[in-house]
Structure 1
Amino acid sequence: MQWERRFLGALCGAAMLWSAQAGAADAFPDRPVRLIVPQSAGSGGDVVARLLGEKIGASLGQPVVIENRPGANGIIAASFVAKAPADGYTLMLAGVSQMSFNPRLYKSLAYQADKDFTYISPVVDTPFLLVASKSSGIKSLKELQTAAKAKPGTLSFASAGAGNSTHLSTEMIAEAAGIKLMHVPFKGSGPALNAVLGGQVDLMTSVLGAALPQVAAGNLVPLAVLADSRAPDLPDVPTLREAGLQAPVMPGWFAVVGPAAMDGGVVSRLNAAVQASLADKAIQERLRALYLVPIPGTAQGIAQRAATDAEVWGAFIQRAGVQAE
């Protein structure tokens, strides 16, 4: 009888806990939700957040307030969100850099990417494009390999900063091609791309949306698309694999995350709101114009993708000896 009483007591306790959790999910949200962006206003992540925020808010029945907390490759924003209450009211539009790259780039990090967050929903991905300056005289990936092997470490490439996707992707291309390039880091993608346009630097891996207008104007030479398939706007430009390089595709995804240990019902509610916004035809057209690809999927799916990218690119970061300060 005693064990029966203990069993019934445990069962009642579990039922009460489930009921409380279900009640919390049903009541969510009853006030505005903050979406932290680890980039400055006008950046790619900020544009995505503001584009989707209103539609997500309409689905939730509460406003989504965009809050920019830029700096330190997203560490400032990620550290803030990691310490926030896990109630679903403080979220972050995280990028692959914060979740998969930073843990290997920094010797000391103020958050643990694999423990301090709850993945909620994938959002968008962006392809990258390897471009050359017109003054470099390079017109194909094969010509790049030939020129770089003739004078190792002489050809230069720009990036938005050490450890940035624009840096890691070009280093990976160099490794796969068996060549040595000289890294020239800048404070942001804009100044880096301008240096290639001006001919001060020979190469850059840029997000497709930023480089494409300059390619269309004849100011940059496209060498290869860093994606699984060719870009519709550049049908004659091969992917890296088509050009003969066996290198992993540089991920450029964004995802909505929150603090660790969020309620499952709240996560499901938020995932449904994000995915509904991505399914909206007007939103899809806007994203297409920005050369961003919506990612349908679950919290579990994007968590697994982040873990895979951390493994693949983390190993490369160690192999290449890349460190960020």
Structure 2
Amino acid sequence: MSNAYRDDERPGDRQLELSIIIVSYNTRDLTLDCLASIALETTRTKHEVIVVDNNSSDQSAAAIACQFPEVRLIALDTNIGFARANNLAAKQAQGRRLLLLNPDTIVLDCAIDRLLEFADANPSFQLWGGRTVFADGSLNRTSCFRRISLWNLLCFALGLTYFGRRNPIFNSEAYGGWDRDTARHVDIVTGCFLLIDRLLWERLGGFDPAFFMYGEEADLCHRARSLGARPAVTPEATIVHYGGASDVVPVDKRVKVFKGRITLINRHFGWPARVIGQALHLIVPLTRWCGYGMAAALARNAEWQKNAAYWEAVWRRRREWIGGYEAKRVEPA
């Protein structure tokens, strides 16, 4: 990696442009591919790469150390979660900007260099993101979102987001109808490909460690906007994001996502909006369990029956997520 410095090679009289932070958990092959793409496609930006391995059981840490000795590896003996792991790495980072990058990503066409150029051209934004696609090149819409509101929660609960995926009114949270093909200000840049000024990160205190996984970047962006940041994304910086590689059980991922969303509501909604938001989340698995179940019975559709079973499992585990992460507070990393 020609532009990445080892600890003993880092110049003491100047700061690196960028610290790339990756948190891995049982994603060995994907992480190795991600690191290889960084080395290949990031040629114009002086940077370092820091990988925090959250006690993976697939020999991720050993493989990274062997194949990428120039990467600064922090191998943990316990899984401290996405938010705290990023905070831990950021404390050791040397770059004037931080790039949070998921391990299940592939950097395309100098995307990191291009994102830095976008940031340099728009420094007042303070927080930037790019465009994400799936492996087949189709759009992955999860690079950014609009903040949660009672309206988009209602649309989500009633299934209007499903039937109106491209509708900017019924699917406002996902910016329905916008293919991420223009540069635009957004409420939330997701943590799979998030660039932030180091000074802003430090003012914010990094991620709220109460979030174990999912929701932490929405909280960060909310607090950043309150300090004057204007998050924006550009299609000029495009990466592959496979999505959800650390969660092999879909229900487990949904439980974590709901837990994060409830925590966001608890943090940023006042009463009675907070109570309404929690109730709408309870409606989500019920409407889908009942809807898919009835449709499957009428049409004898095996796929719909699987969907019904999935949402039934989410409903039955509601006590795990309805309180958010509030019940188990953690100390900062």
Q: If the TM-score is normalised by the length of the shorter chain, which range does it land in? A: under 0.3
Q: TM-score, normalised by structure 2?
A: 0.25
> Between Structure 1 and Structure 2, whose CA radius of gyration is higher?
1
Structure with higher RCO (Cα < 8 A, 6+ apart): 1
Q: TM-score, normalised by structure 1?
A: 0.25
